[in-house]
Amino acid sequence: MDDDCIPLLTRRYSKTLVGFQGRKLACATVLLAETLERLAFYGISGNLVLFLNDVLKWQAVQAIETQLLFMGMMYLFSPVGGWLADALLGRFNTIMLSLLFYLLGAMWLPMMLNSATSNVLCGPSTMPPPMHNGTLIASSNDAGARCSSVVYGCLVVIALSVSALKPNITPFGADQVRDRGPETLRHFFNLFYWCINLGAIFSLGFICYIQQNVSFFWGYVLPVACVALSLITFLSGRPVYVSENSFGIKWESMKIGFRDMFSRLQRRQQNIAENQSSNREVTTTLLMNCDGGKKSLYRVVLVFTAIVPYWMVYFQMQSTYLIQSLHLQIPKIFSTSPPVNSSAHNLPLVFPAAWLTMFNAVLLLALIPLVDRVLFPLLSRYDLLPPTLHRIALGMFFSLCSAFAAGLLETKRLSMVKRGDFITQRISTSSYIAANLSVWWQLPQYILIALSEVFTSISGLEFAYSAASKRMASRVMGLFFFFSGIGSLIGSGLLWIVSLHSIGWMSKTKDYGNINNCRLNYYFFLLAGIQAFTLLVFFAGVVKNEVVKPPGVVVVS
């Protein structure tokens, strides 16, 4: 078998090369670049629903749909990003270019919120928006409509950039230590995952706080700076990175490959040894032509398809879960009571709604080492460690429990509002009618979604990485993210369907931020039902047929 077709986690390693010795600087630059990029990403996406709802005055449903579409597009094009690296540009060049376009896209957000550049990007306004020291502090429906195309264009550029970055930076980092044995690889992936969650924690804890309590302008300047630092950090490691000579296919090889594909039927009729040898050389670049590759690819696609409903629930964390939190009692911090006649910039400092998403990352930081270093070794000692697909099924169960818990909470919240047990609270520059029920009641659904991520998301990537060859690593990773994007898009489409007038679960009213006349609880119960049905099918049709247990490796989600 071609060495490039051997799955990465089943390759032989030299016992003389262990640990990060000689590769510490290369790994450190990759890890730091990823941390800064995650800081930027969560700074942009963590409060996106609030930004669209509060600053641009978009309706709640439109803001949620935009968030889900953004996340879906980011993952949907990941296979293209993996193919660009594996087949054309190489991972280093693909990561560099994606960070560059990422920077250009992120710059649009603060430019749109600055008085000196907003009219250039969005066009002249028919009504002057209120300003504070040259910065847009509140917007009208006029501004929201004018800037809608800029918002969509900005999110498209960022989503495409992340879709090229995400499937490549993980295997690129692993490439730096792939000759150091599986233990070093496992350690690297643990560090990589920790860096992702540390970036999320700092971003959600600090940048989202700035956005909600100070200014969205400065809250979007910080992600731009983080992307720029990430690009500089990644480029600075170029002299110490492992050579990419063995990665990617040169342009001449691509020409040969395309010519071979179009003339494959004709060459089958020729019994010339030279042509047969050339055909074997070219087709080894494709996963399906590696030994057993077709069966492995079919199995991978089958599993990825089965966990699409899981992603439908997972992406609610930064969309419907957040809009739900705005309609629950959010505690104030650093202020015991609101000031009299408070202005937009003299409000009590409020607990950012996005901080509940941060708790998810904090919980993961605790769960990952607990599960990987304590629970799994203990179960393995007594031969009780469940296979990978069983762990994926367990995570799917936790996700349906999360959606069901969100539905129960929303039912309780709506009943309280209906009987008049509500308050009016100020978040950023807008007022929300919220049930007199603490936002901490959302913690169970966030804890359950974190547990689901440990078992489904991480085990799913472990499953994908165990089947990936060296030459196909980026593409298989991209395929995993592609199916997660499908889940986000289906969730958005489902929300659009239940928003139709004939169904009316998510009615669009003039009160842009109001979901008190909606039936968001029905949507949550529908997601839980879809996940429950899929779990039964998955367990009956896939899990029972599992015969191969991929090596137990913790891989970044």
CATH number for the domain that contains residue 84: 1.20.1250.20
Q: pTM surpassing 0.85?
A: no
Note whether residue 280 is domain-resident: no
In terms of Cβ atoms closer than 10 Å to its own Cβ (0-12, 13-18, 19+), residue 522 is middle
Backbone angles phi, psi at 424, to 5 degrees: -110, 120
Note whether residue 15 is domain-resident: no
In terms of Cβ atoms closer than 10 Å to its own Cβ (0-12, 13-18, 19+), residue 1 is exposed
pLDDT in tens, the chain (557 residues): 445 554 544 444 555 556 677 788 998 999 999 999 999 998 998 888 888 887 887 877 788 888 888 888 888 888 888 888 877 888 899 999 999 999 999 999 898 888 778 777 777 766 555 554 455 444 444 556 677 888 889 999 999 999 999 888 888 888 888 777 666 776 777 678 778 888 888 888 888 888 877 888 999 999 999 999 999 999 999 998 986 544 444 444 444 444 544 454 345 445 434 444 443 333 333 344 454 455 666 777 888 888 899 999 988 887 788 888 888 988 876 444 444 333 444 444 566 766 777 777 788 878 877 877 788 778 878 888 778 788 889 999 999 999 999 999 999 999 999 999 998 887 766 778 889 999 899 999 999 998 898 888 877 766 766 666 656 666 777 788 888 888 888 888 888 888 887 777 876 554 455 788 888 999 999 999 999 999 998 888 766 665 444 444 333 33
Beta bridge partners of 431: 426
pLDDT of residue 1: 47
- CA 138 vs CA 113, 130, 142, 341, 448: distances in Å: 9, 6, 11, 17, 36
Q: What is the pLDDT of residues 192-211, one digit of tens each?
A: 877 888 888 888 888 888 88
List the structure tokens of 157. 């550029």
pLDDT of residue 480: 81
Judged by phi (left if over 0) then psi (alpha if -120 to 50, else beta), residue 50 lies in: alpha
Closest CA to 314 of 165, 197, 485: 485
Note whether residue 348 is domain-resident: yes
pLDDT of residue 543: 61
Note whether residue 77 is domain-resident: yes
Count structural domains, the chain.
Answer: 1
List the structure tokens of 22. 């000689």
Residue span of the structural domain in which 153 resides = 22-249+285-545
pLDDT of residue 522: 93
Q: Please give the Cα distance from 312 to 383 (Å, whole number).
A: 33
Note whether residue 524 is domain-resident: yes
pLDDT of residue 296: 64
Instruction: Give the CA count within 13 Å in the CB-facing half-sphere of 235.
Output: 11
In terms of Cβ atoms closer than 10 Å to its own Cβ (0-12, 13-18, 19+), residue 359 is middle
At which residue do the structure tokens 């039902």 appear?
Answer: 529
Question: DSSP string spanning 456-481?
Answer: IIHHHHHHHHHH-BTTTHHHHHHHHH
Q: Please give the Cα distance from 416 to 437 (Å, whole number).
A: 8
Q: 465-503 burial by CB neighbour count: b if 16+ within 10 A, else e?
A: bbbbbbbbbbbbbbbbbbbbbbbbbbbbebbbebbeeee
Radius of gyration of the chain (CA): 25
In terms of Cβ atoms closer than 10 Å to its own Cβ (0-12, 13-18, 19+), residue 16 is exposed
pLDDT of residue 421: 92
Q: What is the pLDDT of residues 339-395, one digit of tens each?
A: 433 344 444 456 676 677 777 778 887 887 787 778 877 887 888 877 878 888 999
Q: Is the dihedral of CA 350, 354, 356, 358 positive or negative?
A: negative
pLDDT of residue 107: 93
